[in-house]
Each structure stands twice: as structure tokens, then as C-alpha cells.
Homo-oligomer: A and B are copies of this chain.
Amino acid sequence: MWKTISSKELFKHPRITLIEDEVLLPNGHQTSYLRFEEKGEAVTIIAQRDDGKILLQKEYSYPPNQILFQFPGGGVVVGEDVKVGAQRELQEEAKVKAINLSLLGSYLLNNRRSTAKMHVFIAESLVSAPLASDIEESFEDFWLSEEEIDALISKGEIINGNVLASWVLFKNHKLNLL
């Protein structure tokens, strides 16, 4: 493990804080290391209907200036339980609520810079329960079979890293059930 010698806040923004640490490596070398502190956690929800179809949504993404496939999800409010946040995001973005909502797994979003995590849920037994979403969001819904989602990945049409990482947790969870 590395030893933190000192820590300096370089820049603070409501959405991110940049910190530069001076660290001592096990080999005796000293170096500076940039890391981010981001508020809150994030959730992704794989919503599966009783007929097996799964919800993928197309949404415009500003930084790459492209419409991307994604699963419902987003940031959890500070202090909000991740499962409560997942249910809320599902209601805002997919307009449904899950009678059964379980955590498939969690992963680090950017381990070289931060401790921020994505928590991936499977949502089943869906019932209509719309909540208003953020004004800047608009979605196009696609209810697809597992095979159709695998085919989109194979064709390179899913380029959002979080969809890919979440999908492997879903597939390997199914593997566990077999």
C-alpha cells in the first residue's frame, strides 16, 4: 500500500473536487497523484419484463454529441440509499417501479482517479409508476431480448462503457442461476 504524505485541494466544483496527493511508494520513491472526489454514488437498472424483454433507452449525450444506448440510471442523491435511488431513477426514466429490485453487483467507475462506484440492479415485476424526470432528459425506449442486446454489442452499436460493464454482471448472474 502507498502512504499519503500530504494532500492538496487543487480545485473545487459542486460536482467534483480535484486533489493532488504526495505519496510514498513501497520502493521508496515519492510521487504526486491526482485524484477526484465526486459526490454520491451511481446506479444502473436492468429492467426486465415478465416476457423476458429488457429496457434499453436511447438518450442524447452532450460530451460526445451522440445519441447512445443506455440502461436507466443516474446519480444517487447524497444520503439517499442506493436501492431507493435505483427505484426513483427507474420511475423517472422508465416510468415504472419494480416489485422485485435486487443488487447484481457494484464496480469502480474509474479506479485510477476515484472511489466512485456504480451499483447495478435487476428490476422485475414492473408496474406503472411515473415520476417527472429532469427537464434536459428525453428517452426513446427499446424493449429487447437478451439475444438482441448481445447482437447490438457484437455489432459495436453499444459504446457506453457502463452498459457493457452492467451487462456482464447481468449475464454472469444468470450463469449463477443455471
Q: In the bound complex, do residue A113 and residue B63 qualify as a contact, i.e. CB atoms below 8 Å apart? A: yes
Proximity string of chain A (103-143) to chain B, C-beta cutoff 8 Å, 1 when within and 0 when not:
00111111111110010000000000000000110100000
Task: Give the residue of B13, B18, B113, B172 whose beta carbon is less than 8 angstroms from that of A150.
Answer: B172
Cα of A35 to Cα of B62 in the assembled complex, Å = 9
- Chain B residues within an 8 Å CB radius of A68: 108, 111
Interface of A is mostly: mixed
A136-178 contacts to B (CB < 8 Å): 136, 138, 150, 153-154, 156, 158-162, 164-165, 167-169, 171-173, 175-176
- Of the stretches A21-29, A78-86, A94-102, the one at the interface is A21-29
Known: A25-B135, A68-B108, A111-B61. A13 touches B34 (CB 8 A): yes
Q: In the bound complex, do residue B154 and residue A172 qualify as a contact, i.e. CB atoms below 8 Å apart? A: yes
Cα of A105 to Cα of B161 in the assembled complex, Å = 11
Q: In the bound complex, do residue B18 and residue A16 qualify as a contact, i.e. CB atoms below 8 Å apart? A: yes
Q: In the bound complex, do residue B161 and residue A63 qualify as a contact, i.e. CB atoms below 8 Å apart? A: no
Q: In the bound complex, do residue A173 and residue B154 qualify as a contact, i.e. CB atoms below 8 Å apart? A: yes
Q: In the bound complex, do residue B29 and residue A136 qualify as a contact, i.e. CB atoms below 8 Å apart? A: yes
Nearest B residue to A19, CB-CB: B63
Cα of A9 to Cα of B62 in the assembled complex, Å = 17
Contact sample, A vs B, 11 pairs, CB 8 Å cutoff = A16-B34, A21-B62, A35-B62, A63-B113, A64-B111, A105-B156, A107-B158, A150-B172, A153-B169, A153-B172, A161-B165
